[in-house]
């Protein structure tokens, strides 16, 4: 029924007896109404609220006293004030056990991942101390284990090494690493403060599956340098140069290093397999890295005069994190590189940290605030850049161990940081004889779990475009470079979004016999066409990006229906009903398209009818005055009412 207020009361309903078999009782034809009127400012306010505050974080502040609001704000900014007052000795006992357990993993991982980023091993331990303390105060996850991670370490090392070599200019390399960490933290915290977390959603799961698998292979191949005892090795991160370098330097292979490395690699993989098969034995794989470090160090020390070909870490400085704010690099020819590295590593580490935090929160039925996490991770990286740390985030391996060890609060990070502190102050000389080959084995064991072939197979079964993004990300990382491979995958994901927007699904609907329900003819074989009608559904907003396509596609549907009618000698096509239930928005280009479509159909003596436009679409159609041209029978609340009313009007005509 139309919306012309001069002829029809907007609150009027009409009862008619439908002669279409699907209705056995009088059908009530309802008026399509406009949503409540709002000013432009109210609309803008509502829209911005939905974009930036979908979770309504301030709803708890309503009708509260000023002092209560202050306490709520304090708890919002510092989640430790939420759970701190209820903290007990029982919780502390659980957190001590879990904290010491993840410390046994964090210490060897920190040393290993720092080498992966081409940084001194001590930087990895520094990065497991200060950031963990800051997160325990600001973070909202109870189980997130904070520290360096393999992906961010790999990306930072590969991006910085393209322009600066640590071996040739270590001071400049450290400056760029700390500066990249600063910009990563600045970017992450800005996303949280401005509530722009949807930016990281452009890294789809498909993209990350391929990226992490490719990065895991590259990381593992890079560790062949340590496993084989090669001294002169390529700094490139592509699979071809790495493999060429491995076989080119066969003369440098050391059988002592190979024997030691593959023995501990087998040990680590076996313990990992045991823990995967029996989750209650998680502590076996958690303790395996530190056990490997201790045993290998003792072995190398006891045989240091006989196996001098095995490379060792060497001397590590004792003491707390030295300040590094004076090393931040804010001017010079490499500033752009530091900013770019910071943005890329910031996005990757933020994505991993939030994903890991939400994963374990869902297992314990509590909520992790994404914006709080962005601010917490960002601020700990900003502070870390000023205290000799590089990019850190929530680590999946540490968090899994933390969860399985029974962590109850973020105090487990404080316990872990305390254990790292003791190591930094008193135990550093013990790592002098730790062989590099064991660190390589630890890295390989850690990253091998990033290869998720089951997820890739699921992508292939469910969505071929997602699988394409996954494959392009995977091969891009392997054969081009880590950042460019990621960029290609993101571009494919964005292309997929544009494809869905610019080429939305359209379908022909038919009636389910005996009901007023209309569904896709292809999906529901029992659905039947209504003679003289073609009912089309558009499953997308109608915007400038798809308006022309939709007009052409609808006209094609009409032409094909006319040809089908002629071929079957059926009833001539008279009316096109456009089901707008799934049209969630429309702009001026879309409105113009509807006008042009109606005009072109009228030239063919066909009627265009709109069914069930949603509130904001109805409002724009009304404000544009387009509805006047559709007439009394141009707009209906449902497809069923449109078919019944228009059919009855045809039969009423002489």
Residue 67 domain flag: no
Task: Give the pLDDT of residue 266.
Answer: 93
Rounded (10°) angle between helices 89-116 and 436-447: 110
Q: What is the pLDDT of residues 158-204, one digit of tens each?
A: 889 888 988 889 999 999 999 999 999 999 999 988 887 777 766 77
Do 175 and 303 belong together in one domain? yes
Percent of the chain exceeding pLDDT 70 equals 94
Cα–Cα dist 416/110, whole Å: 12
Residue 291 lies in a domain: yes
pLDDT at residue 421 in the model: 94
- The answer to whether residue 45 sits within a structural domain is no
CA dist 23 and 510 (Å) reads: 15
Give the β-pairing of 393-395 and 506-511.
unpaired
Closest by CA to 400, choosing from 80, 124, 126, 149, is 149
Phi and psi angles of residue 538, each rounded to the nearest 5 degrees, phi first: -110, 125
Overall domain count for the chain = 2
CB atoms within 10 A of CB 315: 11
Regarding whether 542 and 457 lie in a shared domain, the answer is no
- Distance between CA 538 and CA 583 in Å, rounded? 6
> Strand order of the sheet with strand 518-520?
518-520, 506-511, 533-538, 575-579, 607-611, 635-636
Q: Is residue 11's pLDDT more than 80? A: no
Instruction: Give me 442's structure tokens.
Output: 């630890």
Q: What is the largest CA-CA distance in the chain?
A: 112
Whether residue 516 sits in one domain with residue 490: no
d(CA 397, CA 409): 17
pLDDT-wise least confident of 21-35, 544-558, 591-605 = 21-35
Task: State the chain's mean pLDDT as an integer.
Answer: 85
Q: Is pTM beyond 0.95 here?
A: no
What does the pLDDT average to over 55-64? 73
Domain-terminating residue out of 463, 496, 529: 496
Which H or E run includes 193? helix 170-193
Burial 514-546 (b: 16+ CB within 10 A, else e): eebbbbebeeeeebebbebbbbbbbebbbbebb
pLDDT for residue 62 is more than 80: no
Kindly tell me if the per-residue pLDDT of 537 is higher than 50.
yes
609 pairs with which residues across the strands?
577
Q: Is residue 154 part of a domain?
A: yes
Three-state DSSP at 395 gives strand
Say whether both 438 and 523 belong to one domain. no
| Residues β-bridged to residue 533 | 575
Query: Would residue 58 count as lying in a domain?
Result: no
- The predicted pLDDT at position 393 comes to 93
CB contact set of 47 (below 8 Å; sequence gap of 6+) = none
In a domain, 73, yes or no: no
**Could you give the C-alpha distances from 33 to 182, 562, 618, in angstroms and in order?**
54, 33, 8
Q: Which of 430, 465, 496 is the endpoint of a domain?
A: 496
pLDDT(600) > 80: yes
The answer to the question of residue 2 being in a domain is no
Contact 122, 114 (CB under 8 A): yes
Rounded CA gap, 502 and 549, in Å?
A: 7
Please give the helix or strand (H or E) that residue 385 lies within, else none. Answer: helix 370-385
Tens digit of each residue's pLDDT (9 = 90 or more) over 253-280: 888 888 888 998 999 999 988 988 888 8
pLDDT at 564 over 80: yes
pLDDT at 122: 94
Q: What is the mean pLDDT of residues 546-566?
A: 92
- Whether the CB-CB separation of 641 and 649 falls below 8 Å is answered with no
Cβ-Cβ contacts under 8 Å for 364 (sequence gap 6 or more): 142, 143
Outline where DSSP puts E strands in 391-528: 393-395, 506-511, 518-520
* Domain-embedded: residue 39: no
Domain edge (last residue) among 480, 496, 512 = 496
Percentage of the chain exceeding pLDDT 90 = 31
Indicate whether 569 and 620 sit together in one domain: yes
Structural domain boundaries, residue 576: 503-652
Distances from the Cα of 305 to the Cα of 33, 228, 310, 325, 522, angstroms: 90, 20, 11, 42, 78
Give the separation between CA 230 and CA 587, rounded to whole angstroms.
Answer: 63
Q: Please, which pLDDT band fits residue 654 given cuts at 50, 70 and 90?
A: low
Residue 20 has pLDDT above 50, yes or no: no
3-state helix, strand, coil in the chain (%, to 5): 60, 5, 30
DSSP-assigned beta bridge partners for residue 519: 510
Say which residue the tokens 């009901």 belong to. 515
Asked whether the beta carbons of 72 and 361 are under 8 A apart, the reply is no
Same domain, 157 and 232: yes
| Domain match, 514 and 491 both | no
Encode pLDDT of 325-381 as tens digits. Answer: 999 999 889 999 999 999 999 988 988 888 888 878 877 888 888 888 899 999 999
**pLDDT class for 16, splitting at 50, 70, 90?**
very low
**Residue 299: which of 502, 398, 435 has the closest Cα?**
435
Same domain membership, residue 426 and residue 390: yes
Q: Could you tell me how many residues make up the chain?
A: 654
Residues 111-136 pLDDT 10s: 888 988 999 999 999 999 999 999 99
pLDDT recorded at residue 652 = 66
Higher pLDDT, 182 or 72: 182
pLDDT beyond 60 at 19? no
Residue 653: its pLDDT value, please? Answer: 65
What does the alpha-carbon distance between residue 119 and residue 108 come to, in Å, rounded to a whole number? 14
Residues 479 and 511 in one domain: no
Q: In this structure, is the dihedral angle defined by the CA atoms of residues 238, 477, 190 and 76, taken in order, positive or negative?
A: negative
Burial class (CB in 10 A: 0-12, 13-18, 19+), 48: exposed
Task: Provide mean pLDDT across the span 307-322.
Answer: 83
Q: Which DSSP string corresponds to 404-432?
A: HTT--STHHHHHHHHHHHHIIIIIGGGGT
488 with 525, same domain: the answer is: no
What residues contact 360, with CB distance under 8 A and at least 6 apart?
141, 142, 143, 144, 399, 400, 403
Residue 586 to residue 613: CA distance in whole angstroms: 10
Q: What pLDDT does residue 176 have?
A: 96
List, for residues 613-642, the tens digit of each pLDDT value: 988 899 898 888 888 888 777 889 999 989
What pLDDT sits at residue 26? Answer: 52
Question: What CATH number did the domain enclosing 532 receive?
Answer: 3.30.750.24
Q: What is the pLDDT of residues 407-439, one digit of tens each?
A: 889 899 999 999 999 999 998 888 888 888 888
Show the tokens assigned to 605: 């003596």
- DSSP per position, 94-161: HHHHHHHHHHHHHHHHHHHHHHHTTS-HHHHHHTTTHHHHHHHHH---SSPEEE--HHHHHHHHHHHH
State whether 192 and 289 are in the same domain: yes
Would the pLDDT of 490 be above 90?
no
CA 471 to chain centre: 17
User: Both ends of the chain: CA-CA distance in Å?
Assistant: 21
The first and second tokens of residue 590, run together, are: 């879309």
Q: Does 465 have pLDDT greater than 90?
A: no
Question: Do residues 487 and 523 share a domain?
Answer: no
> In this model, does residue 509 exceed pLDDT 80?
yes
Contacts of 135 (CB under 8 A, 6+ apart): 144, 146, 376, 377, 380, 410, 413
Beta bridge partners, 237, equal: none
In the prediction, which pLDDT does 336 show? 94
**Residue 25's pLDDT is what?**
46
Contacting residues for 312 by C-beta, under 8 A, at least 6 apart: 300, 432, 433, 434, 435, 436
Per-residue model confidence (pLDDT) at position 18: 40
Q: Which residues pair with 611 in a beta bridge?
A: 579, 636
Q: What is the pLDDT of residue 148?
A: 93
């Amino acid at each position: 029924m139309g919306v012309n207020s001069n002829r029809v009361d907007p609150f009027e309903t009409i009862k008619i007896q439908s002669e279409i078999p699907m209705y056995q009782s009088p059908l009530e034809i309802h008026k399509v109404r406009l949503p409540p009127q709002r000013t432009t400012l109210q609309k803008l306010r509502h829209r911005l609220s939905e974009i930036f505050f979908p979770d309504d974080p301030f709803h708890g502040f309503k009708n509260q006293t000023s002092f209560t609001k202050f306490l709520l704000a304090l708890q919002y900014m510092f989640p430790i004030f939420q759970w701190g007052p209820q903290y007990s000795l029982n919780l502390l006992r659980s957190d001590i056990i879990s904290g010491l357990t993840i410390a046994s993993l964090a210490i060897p991982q920190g040393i290993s991942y720092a080498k992966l980023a081409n940084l001194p091993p001590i930087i990895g331990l520094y990065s497991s101390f200060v950031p963990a303390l800051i997160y325990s105060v600001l973070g909202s996850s109870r189980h997130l284990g904070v520290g360096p991670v393999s992906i961010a370490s790999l990306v930072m090392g590969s991006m910085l090494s393209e322009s600066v070599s640590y071996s040739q200019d270590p001071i400049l390399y450290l400056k760029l690493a700390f500066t990249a960490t600063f910009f990563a933290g600045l970017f992450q915290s800005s996303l949280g403060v401005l509530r722009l977390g949807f930016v990281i959603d452009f890294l789809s799961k498909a993209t990350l599956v391929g990226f992490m698998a490719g990065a895991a292979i590259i990381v593992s191949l890079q560790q062949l340098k340590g496993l084989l005892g090669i001294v002169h090795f390529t700094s490139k991160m592509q699979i071809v140069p790495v493999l060429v370098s491995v076989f080119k330097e066969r003369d440098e292979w050391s059988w002592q290093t190979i024997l030691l490395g593959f023995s501990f690699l087998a040990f680590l993989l076996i313990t990992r397999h045991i823990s995967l098969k029996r989750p209650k034995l998680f502590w076996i794989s958690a303790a395996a890295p530190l056990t490997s470090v201790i045993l290998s160090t003792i072995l190398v020390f006891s045989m240091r005069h006989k196996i001098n070909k095995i490379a060792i870490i060497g001397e590590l400085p004792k003491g707390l994190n030295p300040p590094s704010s004076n090393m931040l690099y804010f001017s010079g020819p490499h500033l752009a590189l530091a900013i770019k590295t910071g943005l890329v590593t910031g996005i990757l580490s933020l994505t991993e940290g939030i994903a890991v935090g939400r994963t374990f929160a869902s297992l314990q039925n509590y909520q992790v605030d994404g914006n709080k996490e962005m601010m917490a991770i960002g601020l700990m990286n900003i502070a870390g850049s000023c205290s000799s740390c590089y990019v850190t985030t929530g680590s999946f391996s540490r968090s899994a161990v933390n969860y399985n060890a029974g962590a109850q609060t973020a105090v487990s990070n404080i316990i872990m940081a305390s254990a790292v502190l003791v190591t930094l102050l008193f135990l550093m000389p013990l790592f002098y004889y730790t062989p590099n080959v064991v660190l390589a084995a630890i890295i390989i064991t850690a990253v091998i779990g990033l290869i998720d072939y089951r997820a890739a197979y699921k992508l292939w079964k469910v969505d071929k475009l997602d699988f394409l993004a996954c494959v392009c990300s995977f091969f891009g990382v392997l054969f081009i470079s880590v950042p460019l491979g990621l960029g290609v995958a993101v571009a494919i994901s964005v292309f997929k979004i544009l494809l869905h927007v610019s080429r939305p699904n359209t379908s022909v609907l038919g009636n389910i016999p005996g009901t007023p329900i209309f569904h896709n003819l292809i999906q529901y074989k029992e659905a039947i066409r209504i003679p003289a009608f073609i009912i089309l559904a558009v499953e997308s907003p109608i915007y400038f990006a798809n308006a022309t396509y939709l007009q052409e596609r609808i006209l094609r549907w009409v032409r094909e229906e006319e040809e089908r009618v002629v071929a079957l000698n059926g009833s001539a096509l008279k009316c096109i009903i456009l089901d707008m239930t799934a049209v969630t928005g429309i702009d001026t280009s879309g409105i113009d398209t509807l006008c042009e479509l109606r005009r072109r159909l009228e030239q063919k003596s066909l009627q265009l009818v709109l069914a069930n436009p949603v509130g904001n679409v109805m409002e724009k159609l009304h404000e544009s005055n387009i509805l006047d041209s559709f007439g009394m029978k141009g707009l209906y609340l449902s497809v069923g009412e449109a078919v019944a009313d228009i059919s009855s009007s045809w039969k009423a005509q002489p």
